[in-house]
Chains A and B, each alone.
Chain A
């Protein structure tokens, strides 16, 4: 149990286009989901926290108009990178809290975004 999936696993897009990444909790209800970004050879940096049915909370330095987050249901959160640029190329990882365990975040497998 406690599986989190992401789709797509990788995406290549042209500069200026928008890309949507989905994060799903497959077998539990995720009251809170987190989005992280990881550049090559670096650690995970938290971008934003999303709670089901409410607006996301963004970390300092993360542009909320560029990284649109929607958490419309207890099993799905989406991250849309708008007007993507090459510097947005990164590994995006989501995680989820909820039943069955509120003491552990369950991480998705990540989405590799490459912007040409």
Chain B
């Protein structure tokens, strides 16, 4: 059973459209991170959300942490081809530094 369930797993949309991807769990977390990974590269941290209900913005990307700190969403406004990549949510477990990743959402933005 996956600790973090991401949906959708694949998403292909046209440039200029908006989209939302989700990261859900039945567990409560003290924080949650979002990463983007491009083919042949390591993941790059986009944001860490800590407080229930927190909203963080990174240019056209809006991240929200659920009130109960069990889920999170990533919304992209006016998607661009440069947003193409694998979006991963991750949490630290067992009070340690180990990260557990969701399955990822593979996003393709078509020109």
A positions within 8 Å CB-CB of B: 4, 32, 34, 41-46, 49, 91, 93, 95, 97, 102-105, 107-110, 112
Q: Name the CB-closest residue of A to B88.
A: A43
A-B pairs with lowest CB-CB distance, top 10 = A107-B42, A43-B101, A43-B104, A44-B101, A43-B103, A93-B42, A109-B42, A110-B42, A108-B42, A97-B97
CB < 8 Å A-B pair total: 46
Question: Please, how many angstroms separate the alpha-carbon atoms of A19 and B103 in the complex?
Answer: 27
A105 touches B41 (CB 8 A): no
Question: What does the 1/0 interface line of B87-111 toward A look like (CB < 8 Å)?
Answer: 0100000000111111110100000
Most buried by A among B44, B45, B101: B101
17 contacts between A and B (CB under 8 A): A41-B106, A42-B104, A43-B88, A43-B103, A44-B43, A44-B101, A45-B101, A46-B98, A49-B97, A91-B40, A93-B43, A104-B48, A105-B97, A105-B99, A107-B44, A109-B40, A109-B42
The DSSP consensus for interface residues of chain A is strand
Q: Name the CB-closest residue of A to B106.
A: A41
B interface bracket (residues with beta carbon within 8 Å of A): 10 to 19
A34 and B101 contact, Cβ closer than 8 Å, known pairs A41-B106, A110-B42, A112-B40: no
Taking the closest CB of chain B, its distance from the CB of A25, in whole angstroms, is 13
Q: Name the CB-closest residue of A to B89.
A: A43
Taking the closest CB of chain A, its distance from the CB of B37, in whole angstroms, is 8
- Specify which chain A residues have a CB less than 8 angstroms from the CB of B41 in the assembled complex: 109-110
